[in-house]
A and B are shown apart, each in its own frame.
Chain A
């Protein structure tokens, strides 16, 4: 089996025109963490849903663990684990009961269930709370239980759809650690969707940047950043639009965008360009408040390839927060 996942022209269209996923061709290697990064509506969840056999593709094919998505969907389901974007645990059962239920649904032999469940509970550090009802768990604990649950039937691929949406920074950090640990301990392949740049950067071996149902670029995080060839200068000034015109026209720096009222310019060598930007601004009576030089991050990569920032779309964020809130008050 050469690749864990292979898709061929995988497509999902709604109402015959709206292409949620547009002729997708990707391969996921065995043992890697593969990140699908993109804004809300880019087609990440739709892609994962098709690979998990929840959604039927409009056209195209794919294999997961060597099984055909459509003809062998039952086998695909047996060989994958899924952690959904929204919570999907029963909060009137205890943590342990949720895991037993999963084990039974996935046909884990009865003789092995107890042992596996004990080990998973230790791994996600919930063994001391295992017999409490889920409704007494915090959002982060629930997420950990879901991560552990996805592994009980020893899947070969684990799908994580926005694993840390709506969680606080400290919990997110924890979850990231668990994902790495679980991956090592179980020797599995992980496919992850996220709209958090830092999450994709921290976790993924390779990242596919997705926008409008298509893969814009696919590479390892260092390589992606290297494609930008250089540094990023962030300028804050009082007349930012005018400054943008000026640097484009007189300095020939056309890799620039205005983000959050600041001008971000990608240049081959930042140090030599910075004095000239200040000079240009001063000559044209623009007051420069600050000037920052930094290495490019995935945010810049995304901006470069799609022409917009991923943060422009925060609906998903609010959605996630709402879900977390609902979890908390229930």
Chain B
């Protein structure tokens, strides 16, 4: 019971901090719009995908990208807390490290999920053809994608001391995961180099984005993997990352 209340309060704090950070909320609106309007407008004129237009193809990918970038960025809260001392208040509390990790992870995941939902709303406003009801089916998938990625962000942040280093690692992780996931172009398409296909198979986001496409585009999208395989891979990724995250937090001083 005590642990549950601690979990709740940690979760609530992340949400409050997220909502109060107006600059971040506004920036997070703009980026998906740029992708969906400008990038899709120009790139889509060249790239043809059978059965669907490029904007439709890109849309689930940009949801995945938003989840990825937001989730990883959330790790910054750990560095921030270390830098400004609040982490000490949390770490000396009579609360298990598992609870601390899970509380923070769920809080950050909720924030990332909110951003994903915002992209969904943009898609609707932009007139991308999809059934709004699919949001209900996409939400749990989005949550599953987020949990593991937020964990990765928190793990990295727990090992790193400064904001500068965190930025550098973001570049080395975010962009490769994004490009390899098939969010922007079909990785299984003809002419894609073999090494790229192999690398993309090791990207957890590949499975997440494929699952999202399956749900949002329906029969128009020939899935790379059956839905249960995609979700299975994402779930395993989540469990492993949560395990490592708990360990990483338990060694934090």
Contacts and interface: CB of A to CB of B under 8 A. Distances in A.
A89 B86 contact: yes
Nearest to A100: B9
Interface in B1-44: 1-2, 5-6, 8-10, 12-13, 16-17, 20-21
B13 A101 contact: yes
A322 to B, nearest CB: 13
A101 B9 contact: yes
Given A89-B86, A91-B84, A93-B13, A105 B93 contact: yes
Secondary structure call for the B interface: helix
Contact of A54 (B5, B13, B253): B253
B249 to A, nearest CB: 15
Nearest to A73: B94
A108 to B, nearest CB: 9
Contacts of B16: 92-93, 97
Contacts of B253: 54-55
B84 A77 contact: no
Interface in B74-115: 81, 84-95
A86 B20 CA distance: 24
A32 to B, nearest CB: 23
A330 interface: yes
A104 B89 contact: no
A52 interface: yes
A53 B92 contact: yes
Given A101-B13, A105-B9, A107-B2, A90 B86 contact: yes
Contacts, number: 71
A42 B187 CA distance: 61
Contacts of B8: 104
Contact of B94 (A87, A101, A107, A330): A107
Nearest to B85: A88
Interface string A98-117: 00111011110010000000
A90 B13 contact: yes
A77 B94 contact: yes
A106 B17 contact: no
B85 A86 contact: yes
Given A101-B13, A102-B89, A74 B94 contact: yes
Nearest to A94: B16
B91 A54 contact: yes
A322 B217 CA distance: 55
Contacts of A88: 85-89
Contacts of B86: 88-90
Contact of A52 (B5, B6, B87, B92): B92
Nearest to B99: A105
Contacts of B91: 54
Nearest to B91: A54
Contacts of B85: 84, 86-89
A146 to B, nearest CB: 9
Contacts of B84: 87, 91, 330
Contacts of A101: 9, 12-13
Interface in A55-77: 55, 74-75, 77
Contacts of B93: 77, 102, 105-106
A104 B13 CA distance: 12
A92 B20 contact: yes
A89 B17 CA distance: 13
A300 B81 CA distance: 40
7 contacts: A74-B94, A77-B93, A88-B88, A88-B89, A93-B16, A101-B12, A107-B6
Interface of B: 1-2, 5-6, 8-10, 12-13, 16-17, 20-21, 81, 84-95, 253
Given A90-B86, A93-B13, 4 more contacts: A54-B92, A88-B89, A90-B81, A104-B6
